[in-house]
Amino acid sequence: MKKVLILCTGNSCRSIIAEALINAKLDGIEADSSGVKASGRVNPYAKKLLEEKGIWKNTYHSKVLDEVLDNSYDLIVTVCDHANETCPMFPKPSPKLHVGFEDPDGKGYEAFKETYKEIEERLLPKLKKVLSGDNTIQEQ
């Protein structure tokens, strides 16, 4: 089982959506998510969307880095520019990948549906490729 950390700023929308999509749709890959400045809440539209898609788990919540810092990951994925620029060093070095998505927070429900679709279409195939060894990534 490959372990992936999805990292963004607030850990309320994009990273939670990505975590749920990976856990639901990619066999052999398990995802966690966290925020460099975690908001402490999951955006209600993100939760609603994941519930409608049937992939919401009550264990999903906005996490601070301290909750995941000591975990080992095969890959750390940043999904926003701020997280990419401020990604902390982890005690156990992990390869890092950046695939940015626009933040739907503060926008209507349609923006969340679009973000979900983009993550599913852009991030999931890239993760499969990278974690199968088809693509080189930089070491953190």
Does residue 80 carry a catalytic annotation?
yes
Instruction: Quickly tell me which residue has 């990604």 as its tokens.
Output: 87
The residue annotated as part of the active site, out of 76, 80, 83, 131, is 80
Given its phi and psi angles, is residue 12 left (phi above 0), alpha (psi -120 to 50 degrees) or beta?
Answer: alpha
The residue annotated as part of the active site, out of 13, 38, 75, 87, is 87
Does residue 13 carry a catalytic annotation?
no
d(CA 42, CA 62): 6
The residue annotated as part of the active site, out of 8, 16, 38, 77, is 8
> For residue 14, what are its two tokens?
């994009």
Contact 87, 78 (CB under 8 A): yes
Q: Which positions ≥6 away from 45 have C-beta within 8 Å? A: 13, 104, 108, 109, 112
Residues catalogued as catalytic: 8, 80, 87
